Amino acid sequence: MTAGEGVQLWAEERGDPAAPPLLLVMGANASGVLWPEELVDLLAAGHRVIRYDHRDTGRSSAVFDRVPYAIADLARDAVAVLDALGIERAHVVGMSMGGTLIQLLLLDAPHRLRSATVLCTSALGAGLADVAGTGELPGPAPELLAYWQTMGGDRDRAAELDWRVEHWRLLSGGVLPVDAGWFRALEERAMDHAGSVRGPVAHALADQSGLDRGAELAAVTVPTLVVEAPEDPVNPPPHAAHLAAVVGGAGLVTVPGMGHALPPAVHGPLAAAVAAHTAAADAG
C-alpha cells in the first residue's frame, strides 16, 4: 500500500474481517513481524488484527538515505494503512516508539481511533522523546545505551543474530527468564521476512521535532490504556504512571515481570488487558 510518494508499506491481516479492527504499531527500527505470532493469534480471537512494517523496516520501502523524514511522519503512515484498508476507525496498540506514534494520533487523528493501548513507552516530551533535554524522568539503562552504539554494524547472519538475542536479553529486564532460542527464532523470521541480515537504524536518525507535546495530552478523550512494564530498562517506572496521569482519562494496568520485550509469559496477560479495554471502549 502507498503512504506518500515513493513509500510502499507492507501489511498483514488476521482474524474475522467483520470483527473490530485493531492496528498494531511496532517500535523503532522494528518490523511488524516482531509482534509475536502467538500474541497476534490471541488478539485475533476477537479482532481484525493488522500489523505492518514501518518504512525502512521489513518489506516496506527503504527511503531514509534518499529522503530523510521525521518520527511524526511514521504516525501518518499508520493512518495511511487504515486508509488503504478502508478502515474508518480502529483500536490501536503501540509498543515503545509505537506508543509515541499513537500519542501523536490521539492528538492529530482522534476521529480515526476507537481506543488506544500503549506499552513500554513514555509520554511525549519525556524519555527518548524528551527533545528539550529536561531529564525529569529516568532515561534508558547505561548498559543499553552503550549497546545501542553498535546497532546496525556490519555483521554476518550468525553474528547479527547473536547481537539481536543479546539485545533482547538486555531489554527483558532480568526478572522473567530469557529463552534465547525463542528470541533467536523470532529474529530469524524477521530476517527472512526482510530479506536482509543488516539491522535497520533509520528511526534512530530521524528528526524528532514535534514530539514535545505532552501538555496537549490532557485533552484526549479517546479511551486510552497504559500498560506498565515494571522491569523496562528503556522507559522504567515511573514513566507509565506519568503517562497515565497526563493523558486525559487514561487507565493503567501492570504486567508483572514485563520488560521491554514480548516473551511468551506476557502474551496472555497483555492480550487479556487489550481485549478488556477494547470491549469496554466499544460498549461505551
Structural domains of the chain in order of their starting residue, each with its CATH number: 11-283 (3.40.50.1820)
The mean pLDDT of the chain is 96
User: Residue 131: pLDDT band by 50, 70, 90 thresholds?
Assistant: low
Active-site annotation holds for 232? yes
Active-site annotation holder among 47, 260, 267, 277: 260
- Residue 29 confidence class, pLDDT cut points 50, 70, 90: very high
> How is residue 240 written as a grid cell?
507509565
pLDDT digits (tens, 9 = 90+) for 227-240: 999 999 999 999 99
- To 10 degrees, what angle do helices 157-172 and 180-194 make? 130
- 91 assigned to active site: no
Q: Which pLDDT band, with edges at 50, 70 and 90, does 128 fall under?
A: confident
pTM for this prediction = 0.97
Known catalytic residue: 179? no
Average pLDDT over residues 146-168: 97
Query: d(Cα 163, Cα 201) in Å, to the nearest integer?
Result: 14
Residue 258: burial class (beta carbons within 10 Å; 0-12, 13-18, 19+): buried
Among 167, 232, 239, 242, the active-site one is 232
Let me know: does 264 contact 272? Beta carbons within 8 Å: no
- Catalytic choice (31, 60, 61, 96): 96
For residue 225, pLDDT beyond 90: yes
